[in-house]
Amino acid sequence: MQKVLCIHPDDDMLVALDDLAAGEVVQWESESILVCTPVARKHKLARRAFAEGEVMKLYGVPVGKATAAIRRGEAVTTENLRHYAADVELGATQAYEWTPPAVERWAGATFPGVVRADGRVGTANYWLIFPLVFCENRNVEHLRNALEAPLGYARDDLAAFTLSLLNEDMAEPKAVTRPFPNVDGIRMITHTGGCGGTRADARTLCRVLSAYADHPNVAGITVFSLGCQNAQISMFKEALAKQNPNFDKPCLIYEQQKWEGGEQAMMQAVLRDTLAALKQANEVKRQPVPLSHLKIGVKCGGSDGFSGISANPTMGLVSDMVVALGGASILAEFPELCGVEANLIERCVNEDDKRRFLGLMRDFEAKAEAVGTHFADNPSPGNIRDGLITDAMKSAGAAKKGGTSPIVSVLDYGEQTDKPGLSLLCTPGNDVESVTGIVASGANVVLFSTGLGTPTGNPIVPVLKIATNTRVATKLNDIIDFDCGPVVDGAPLPEVAGQLLDLVVATAGGQYTVKADRLQQYDFIFWKRDISL
């Protein structure tokens, strides 16, 4: 069994594929290295000796500086390495050349998509309910209780088990025949925004909610407003008109402070109106559409030392394959692109996008430093424990999920992708804030790699959880959809990527239900950039 891996020929470190003991000798091609300190699985050992202050590379790029002398064969840890990323400046670059991957097997393939009146294609048909302000979360939850179980969308929870613990009858409830079979679900969003913060954050919230309302996965919306909040109905309608001047879906809005007759009367009216609108939503049926209508988002969370070796490169190849088929892909998480900016700038098709990407990165980093933090603080305790000890190291592996295709646009949070090809989207690394933004930008399937396991889902778009290693795929099978562990063991990357693309297509067509949806894991957190007032 191979015990170490060299990712790039220029790397100064090898990755331990299993725990290494001091005194054993490991082999990489013609290199023999004596391990002089224990090295944990997924962590790195020095390929040569380093003096204090020397720059060290992984994935072929600088990822840190030695803070002490490091011996050849010694473990590289937070005790002897700190974050370092090379400065990047805009300069003349040669035209980027890209060789698309082979996609002949999928040429002419289709998936059953939800086609809207304007020709855009969704991967689901949901009715969406949300508040403009946190004060209305309770009414959203009341509507959930009033709709999900009676309409046949509620799934079993722990209620039956509770009854069994109380020695009560735990007979399975009678299945409900869904009266709206072409509506895939009633989805709810609750949040903590809309008031108490800055007007800028209220506008961001409205922009994101309008993007969700306009998303092709959504048939129509029910919206709650209190009345006095920052995120006014007029602000939301303005955002919706900007998002899509021709928005024509059913849009039911209720303002509680203006309602005569009390909350109960309002909720009964909401229920009557929503049920009537669901009849219209039920008229939509799936139909075959080409794979060029796929818009995937790529994300990582709970990352480990294998993320940049297995799952992220696999997702990156799938991203390239989708682009080669005429579809779109979105790469987010700007703090996790720190150290690979030069490569991304080189891949930008337009000069303006090069400047915008670097400007957004620098602005983001400046705002972090203004509150006493830095991109270097990005790796979580779990990341560090499992081998990602600097942000640049984490970023070099995270960027792999964006593949190698040219970059056709650079977007700020909440902006839409309207071009086929790869787009860069400015989001934080935070799992849910990032996925929320990716969906707002138009993704209709999200691929999410994880080395430690995360349950993250989304209210309106399926999130496929991709494991970096077989151990976590087996242990957390209830939340993991696909295992990239075979890549670590030597399985050909194109073969595994092909299997993953097949799963993406099945998910887009409704033939596969992602684990997050089975668990009703519908997360939504918008990126609040300002303070609460």
One-character DSSP codes across 81-139: EEE----------PPP---PPP-GGGTT-EEEEEE-TTS-EES--EEEEEESSGGGHHH
Domain co-membership, 334 together with 472: yes
Determine the Cα–Cα distance for residues 257 and 136; give it in Å rounded to an integer.
11
**How many Cβ atoms sit within 10 Å of the Cβ of residue 187?**
25
The CA distance from 225 to 133, in Å, is: 7
Amino acid at the residue 126:
Y
**Is it the case that residue 11 has pLDDT exceeding 60?**
yes
**pLDDT value of position 218:** 98
Is residue 88 included in any domain, yes or no? no
- My answer on whether 201 and 335 are in the same domain is no
279 and 347 belong to one structural domain = no
Dist. CA 422–CA 407, nearest whole Å:
5
Residue indicated by tokens 């219209």: 280
Does 339 fall in a domain? yes
* pLDDT for position 161: 73
- Asked whether residue 296 is assigned to any structural domain, the reply reads yes
Q: Which domain holds residue 29?
A: 4-83
Flag whether pLDDT at 231 surpasses 90: yes
Quote the CA–CA distance of 228 and 235 in Å, as a whole number: 12
Contact 4, 15 (CB under 8 A): yes
345 and 462 inside one domain? yes
Report d(CA 29, CA 207) in Å as an integer: 53
Tell me the longest C-alpha to C-alpha distance in the chain.
Answer: 82
**pLDDT class of 378 with cuts at 50, 70, 90:** confident
Q: Write the single-letter amino acid at 189.
A: I
User: pLDDT class for 510, splitting at 50, 70, 90?
Assistant: very high
Domain of 13: which CATH number?
A: 2.30.130.110
Taking alpha carbons only, the member of 200, 206, 231, 203 closest to residue 221 is: 206
- How far is it, in rounded angstroms, from Cα 233 to Cα 227? 8
As a whole number, mean pLDDT of residues 206-215 equals 98
Q: How many domains does the chain have?
A: 3
In a domain, 502, yes or no: yes
Out of 49, 83, 117, pick the residue that ends a domain: 83
Amino acid at 47: R
Domain annotation covers residue 18: yes
pLDDT for 92: 64
Give domain status of residue 338, yes or no: yes
Lowest mean pLDDT of 162-166, 203-207, 265-269, 311-315, name the range.
162-166
Q: How many CB atoms lie within 10 A of CB 337?
A: 25
- Residue 483: beta bridge partners? 467
* Cα angle 392-44-58, degrees, rounded to a multiple of 5: 40
* pLDDT over 70 (residue 486): yes
Share of the chain above pLDDT 90, in %: 78
Q: Other C-beta atoms within 10 Å of 89: how many?
A: 8
With a cut of 80, say whether residue 174 has pLDDT above it. Answer: no
**Domain shared by 269 and 296, yes or no:** no
pLDDT digits (tens, 9 = 90+) for 107-164: 999 999 999 999 999 999 999 999 999 999 999 999 999 999 899 998 766 777 777 7
Query: Whose CA is closest to 72, among 89, 96, 56, 91?
Result: 56
Residue 375 has pLDDT above 90, yes or no: no
CA distance 120 to 163: 46
> In angstroms, what CA-CA distances link 215 with 117, 220, 240?
12, 10, 11
Nearest to 209 by CA among 532, 524, 529: 524
Q: Is 233 exposed, middle or buried (0-12, 13-18, 19+ CB in 10 A)?
A: middle
Which of 83, 110, 140 terminates a domain? The answer is: 83
Tell me the per-residue pLDDT of 23-34, one tens digit each, with 9 for 90 and over.
Answer: 999 999 999 999
Do 277 and 297 lie in one domain? The reply is no
Report yes or no on 90 lying in a domain: no
Model pLDDT for residues 382-440, shown as the tens digit of each residue: 888 877 888 888 888 889 999 999 999 999 999 998 899 999 999 999 999 999 999 99
Say whether both 348 and 421 belong to one domain: yes
Cα→Cα distances 368→52, 390, 507, 531, 533, Å: 28, 17, 37, 13, 19
Q: How does DSSP assign 389-452, residue by residue?
A: -SHHHHHHHHGGGG-SSPEEEEE-TTPPP-SSEEEEE---S-HHHHHHHHHHTT-SEEEEEESS
What span, in angstroms and rounded, lies between the C-alpha atoms of 450 and 468? 6
**Length of the chain in residues, anyone?**
533
CATH number of the domain that 274 lies in? 3.40.50
Last residue of a domain, one of 236, 261, 285: 285
Residues 423 and 316 in one domain: yes
Same domain, 145 and 277: yes
Q: Is 50 helix (H, G, I), strand (E, B) or coil?
A: strand
Averaged pLDDT, 469-490 = 96
Do 423 and 311 fall into the same domain? yes
How confident is the model over 306-336, as pLDDT tens digits?
A: 899 999 999 999 999 999 999 999 999 998 8
> Does residue 342 lie within any of the structural domains?
yes
Same domain, 192 and 165: yes
In this prediction, residues 62-66 reach a mean pLDDT of 91
Do 252 and 320 have their domain in common?
A: no
